[in-house]
A and B are shown apart, each in its own frame.
Chain A
Amino acid sequence: MSHIKIELRKEDVDFIKGVCATFNNDPQELINVLHTCQEHFGYLPAEIQEVVSDGLNMPVAKIYGVVTFYSFFTMTPKGKHPISICLGTACYVRGAEKVLDEFKKELGIQVGESTKDSKFSLSSLRCVGACGLAPVVLVGDKTYGRVAPDDVKNILKEYE
């Protein structure tokens, strides 16, 4: 009855089915399956959730419920260089919001969005456990500490 047309490539469907099989097609392993799929595809669009639903034999509504519950999971594609700004208490009181505003201005996107060329995406998170370096910014796996709004241009330049 769904009006969603799933248009994944055959190898993508095979990959997702393979992941489900690795976890014994057990619905209890949903979060592990979603983690592996997100790691591979970068995000979890409806199409992928439909295949997982088939693979784990569980309602896609339940899967969507889990995807929307955990902030780690995303249904929009991340950029090649995902930027995360910590808005935890320590970073926040040391001006993280101004840093975030600068990223928004420079990239022309909001939190949760990607740039048109898919190069950068912007997200916020709550504490990465490096409060001594507040405010903290992550670009991919790289960590930047004591970031000021003026540093934003230079950080982005590294990825030109």
Chain B
Amino acid sequence: METIKLTIDNKEVDVPGGTTIYKAAKELGIDIPTLCYMELHDMNIENKPAGCRICVAEVSGRRNLAPTCSTKCESGMVVKTHTPRVLNARRTVMEFILSDHPKDCLICSKSGTCELQAMAHRLGIKDIPGAEYAAVSTYRKDTSPSIIRDLDKCIMCRRCEMMCNEVQTVGAISAVNRGFMATVAPAFEQNLEHSTCTYCGQCVSVCPTGALTEVNHVPQVLRALVDPSKTVVVQTAPAVRAALGEEFGLAPGTLVTGKMTAALRALGFDYVFDTDFAADLTIMEEGTELLDRLSRHLKGDTTAKIPILTSCCPGWVNFFEEYFPDLKNVPSTAKSPQQMFGAIAKTYFADKIGINRKDMVVVSIMPCLAKKYECQREEFSTDGNPDVDFSISTRELASFIKQANIDIKNLQDEEFDSPLGESTGAGVIFGATGGVIEAACRTAFELYTGKKLERLDFTELRGMDGVRSATIDFDGLPLNIGIAHGLGNARKLLDDVRSGKSQFHAIEVMACPGGCIGGGGQPLHHGNSEVIKARATAIYTEDRKKPLRKSHENPFIIKLYEEFLGKPGSEKSHHLLHTHYFDKKKKIIIKK
């Protein structure tokens, strides 16, 4: 490819043809400010609507200022990114944006992590001339089970639209209306709840302002904790321990498992348990289902649906119920670890400690916003009492810890409580893309072949490519595994399943890029995939450190089956640990 030589701020740089000025400046270490531009490196997706006009610069031979995010470099170009004209224009644009933005920063849920606030600070905006006369566009606030839309705070960067449409191919939201009333909304400006939204929360994770935030359940959890009649049980998802530290200034990828456990105990939870235990349980049920379907399939039973699809991810479940309801019998019927945990906590464990399920409150700490919706699904409750009462995100937990004056960084590491806190390395890796299927392979291999698995690290299943495949040798039986993370990638694999072209025996799908570690409830990574990779490394490190790394070797799982469930796939297991799916696709009703 041809190389282009240009000058930016008196420095020369060579870039490949087609490079934008914004990226060329990055090469030189010049960080041009922007509010809308976002690059998702590993996905080859860029958001550059050139909408915010903060990134403008002077370009030789051009009369007006150029938006650098979408202007391509040309040979001999001379670019200046901080002349008085540029700085004035940038300031004026910023003042316009702020004049139509609420000024309640002190009490905004994004305060402190808001990119608009940070930009106002960076550009030295101390005053908005004429703000008292400026019109302010207002919209109806929309609250769904997982996500709150407060469009008064939308600055039309359209990053959410990119995540929802290009990355996730969900298409729940789009830019609508024009001029002053322009915003991003579901069709017909309905509430999110009535759109095709899967609650994956990827829109929330890229929103620069407080326009998109999660529903906050910390107050309800606090009330349960101070209620003496309630026994409050907490479970923490694998991905949380690999990211929580970031909210306290620790480097991405710092594992805080022990400190998080200590903090949860300090917050007053009666039992600090681990979703990883339920992940091990999921492997027992899902692995058994896989082997059952596979062996029937190999014997020529056409009713045995192959491939089997994982079903741990609630965003993914919402996605196939909306877009692939004809395939709703293909995914595993195993509930997600969050829901398996709730079901076991409120039966087996409640019995063990001799309390009624109504006196137990199960709280989950999740990297996910769809989990909030999932725990509210009707089928996951008994007589109106949900198996999981509240699901709070990693971000909410961090806020809760700060509110409670807990200096998490200086806490001594503590262990999870027994028995529902005991887990293997297989449970931990659920947090990263490919982890569930790797955990399943570790167990299914030994159950299927009756031999000891020598190599536990299935590195061929790891990585960050959106769609991956590998063939695992099950002692002569080649097992074809497919992996997708991000719903757009999942759609590709599902289209093949629908058309009968799929050659896979088992497919793992995670709705969020990177898997749960990149979930919509995690500390904001601002599009930086290095953060997600660091979290993945942390997850695999924790796995390696565990004395047991195969789910079926977890002694507490073995005991649970002996004492309570019988065996995987038993009637009791089916009743408590399995579910069914619904056709949620919109129907076109024809009037007779």
Nearest chain B CB to A57's CB is how many angstroms away?
A: 10
> Is B487 interfacial (CB 8 A cutoff)?
no
How many Å lie between the Cα of A151 and that of B30 in the bound state? 65
The answer to whether B589 and A2 have CB atoms under 8 Å apart is no
- B-side contacts of A2, CB under 8 Å: 187, 190, 194-196, 586
Q: Does B591 contact A (CB under 8 A)?
A: yes
A59 to B185, CA, bound (A): 12
Within the complex, the shortest CB–CB distance from B198 to chain A, in Å, comes to 9
**Set of chain A residues within 8 Å of B472, measured between Cβ atoms:** none
* Contact indicator B187/A9 (Cβ below 8 Å): no
B182-204 CB mask vs A (1 if < 8 Å, else 0) is 00011111100111110000000
* In the bound complex, CA of A4 to CA of B196 (Å): 12
Q: How far apart sit A60 and B172, CA to CA, in the bound complex (Å)?
A: 8
Chain A 1-38 interface 0/1 with B at a Cβ cutoff of 8 Å (1 = within):
11111111110010000000000000000000000000
Does B165 have its Cβ within 8 Å of any Cβ on chain A? yes
Whose C-beta in chain A lies nearest to the C-beta of B586?
A2
Whether the pair A6, B588 counts as a contact (CB closer than 8 A) is: yes
Which chain B residue lies CB-closest to A62? Answer: B174
Given contacts A2-B195, A8-B590, A9-B591, contact A62 B165 (CB under 8 A): yes
Is A61 an interface residue, CB under 8 A from the partner? Answer: yes
Given A13-B588, A59-B196, A4 contacting B188 (CB threshold 8 A): yes
Q: Which residues of B contact A62 (CB under 8 A)?
A: 165, 171, 174
Q: Which residue of B is nearest A16, CB measured?
A: B588
CB-CB < 8 A to B352: which residues of A? Answer: none
Kindly list chain B residues whose C-beta atoms are within 8 Å of the C-beta of A3: 190, 194
Q: Is B188 a contact partner of A59 (Cβ separation < 8 A)?
A: no
Confirm or deny: A49 has a beta carbon within 8 angstroms of a beta carbon on chain B: yes
User: Inside 8 A of B356's CB, which chain A residues have their CB?
Assistant: none
Query: Could you say which residues of chain A place their CB within 8 Å of the CB of B190?
Result: 2-4
Report whether B588 and A50 are in contact in the complex, using a CB–CB cutoff of 8 Å.
yes
Q: Are A58 and B171 in contact (CB under 8 A)?
A: yes
Chain A residues near B588: list those with CB within 8 A. Answer: 6, 8, 13, 50-51, 54
Contact in complex: B194, A64 (CB < 8 Å): no
Contact A59–B590 (Cβ < 8 Å) = no
State A58–B323 Cα separation when bound (angstroms). Answer: 12
How far, in whole Å, are A10 and B175 apart by their CA atoms in the complex? Answer: 31
Query: Given the known A-B contacts A8-B591, A68-B177, are A1 and B195 also in contact in the complex, defined by CB atoms under 8 Å?
Result: yes
Asked whether B196 lies within 8 Å of A6 as measured between CB atoms, the reply is no
Most chain-B CB neighbours within 10 Å: which of A2, A5, A46, A60? A2
B170: nearest residue on chain A (CB-CB)?
A59
Contact A64 B187 (CB under 8 A): yes
What distance in Å separates the Cβ of A81 from its nearest Cβ neighbour in chain B? Answer: 27
| 23 A–B pairs (Cβ distance < 8 Å), ordered by A | A1-B194, A1-B197, A2-B194, A3-B190, A7-B589, A8-B588, A9-B591, A10-B590, A46-B187, A58-B171, A59-B170, A61-B171, A61-B174, A61-B176, A61-B185, A61-B195, A62-B171, A63-B187, A64-B174, A64-B176, A68-B176, A68-B178, A69-B175
Query: From residue B133, how far is it (CB to closest CB) to chain A in Å?
Result: 24
Q: With an 8 A cutoff between CB atoms, is B214 at the interface?
A: no
Given contacts A61-B172, A62-B174, 18 further A-B pairs with CB under 8 A are A1-B194, A2-B187, A3-B190, A4-B194, A7-B589, A7-B590, A8-B588, A49-B187, A50-B588, A51-B588, A59-B172, A60-B171, A61-B186, A61-B196, A63-B187, A64-B188, A65-B174, A68-B176
Task: Find the B residue at minimum CB distance from A2.
Answer: B586
**Is B322's CB within 8 Å of the partner chain A?**
yes
Are the CB atoms of A46 and B188 closer together than 8 Å? yes
CB of B24 within 8 Å of the partner chain: no
A1, B591: Cβ atoms under 8 Å? no
Given A68-B176, A69-B177, is A5 in contact with B171 using a C-beta cutoff of 8 Å?
A: no
In which size bucket is the chain A interface?
Answer: 20 to 34
Interface residue tally of chain B, by bracket?
20 to 34
CB-based contact B171/A59 at 8 Å: yes
Question: What residues of A have a CB within 8 angstroms of the CB of B171 in the complex?
Answer: 58-62
Nearest B residue to A71 via CB reads: B178
Q: Cβ of B584 < 8 Å from any Cβ of A? A: yes
A91 to B193, CA, bound (A): 45
A9 (CB) vs chain B CBs: closest residue: B591
Tell me whether A50 and B586 are in contact in the complex, defined as CB-CB below 8 angstroms, given that A1-B196, A9-B591 are known contacts: yes
Enumerate chain A residues within 8 angstroms of B170, measured Cβ to Cβ. Answer: 59
Report how far A147 CA is from B590 CA in the complex, Å: 45
User: Is the CB–CB distance between B591 and A65 below 8 Å?
Assistant: no
When C-beta atoms are compared, the residue in chain B nearest to A65 turns out to be B174
Closest approach, in angstroms, between the C-beta of A46 and any C-beta of chain B? 5
What is the minimal beta-carbon distance from B167 to any residue of chain A, in angstroms?
A: 14
B586 interface neighbour in A1, A7, A10, A63, Cβ under 8 Å: A1
Considering the complex, which residues of chain A in the window 36-89 have a beta carbon less than 8 Å from any beta carbon of chain B? Answer: 46, 49-51, 54, 58-65, 68-69
Q: Give the Cβ gap from B164 to chain A, nearest Cβ, in Å.
A: 8
Docked-complex contact B194 and A60, CB < 8 angstroms:
no
A5 to B194, CA, bound (A): 12
Q: How far is the CA of A32 from the CA of B305 in the complex (A)?
A: 42
CB closest residue in chain B, given A3? B194
B586 touches A65 (CB 8 A): no
Q: Does B370 contact A (CB under 8 A)?
A: no
- CB contacts (< 8 Å) of A65 on chain B: these are 174-176
| CA of A10 to CA of B172, assembled, Å | 27
Chain B nearest CB, measured from A21 CB (Å): 16
CB neighbours of A13 from chain B (8 A) = 588, 590
How far is B173's CA from A146's CA once the two chains are assembled, in angstroms?
45
Q: Which of B185, B584, B588, B592 has the most CB of A within 10 A?
A: B588
Question: Would you call B589 and A6 a contact (CB within 8 A)?
Answer: yes
- Write out the residue numbers on chain B whose beta carbons fall within 8 Å of the beta carbon of A5: 589
Q: Which residues of B contact A10 (CB under 8 A)?
A: 590-592
Contacts of A64 in B (CB 8 A): 174, 176, 187-189
* Residues of A with C-beta under 8 A to B188: 4, 46, 49, 64
Whole-angstrom CA separation of A58 from B171 in the bound complex: 8
List 3 tightest A-B contacts by C-beta distance, closest first. A59-B171, A61-B174, A65-B174
List CB contacts (< 8 Å) of B309-352 with chain A.
Answer: 322
Closest to A54 in B: B588
CB distance from B49 to the nearest CB of A (A): 13
| B177 contact set on A, CB distance < 8 A | 68-69
Report B139 CB to chain A, min CB distance, Å. 14
**Neighbour of B193 across the interface among A1, A4, A8, A58, CB < 8 A:** A1
Which residue in chain B gives the minimum CB-CB distance to A7? B591
CA of A94 to CA of B177, assembled, Å: 30
Among candidates B178, B189, B587, residue contacting A69 with C-beta atoms closer than 8 Å: B178
Given A1-B196, A1-B584, A62-B174, CB of A9 within 8 Å of CB of B590: yes
CB nearest to A17 among chain B residues: B588
| CB-CB nearest in chain A for B591 | A7
Task: Give Cα distance in the complex from A13 to B591, angstroms.
Answer: 10
Which residues of chain B are within 8 angstroms of A6 by Cβ–Cβ distance? 586-590
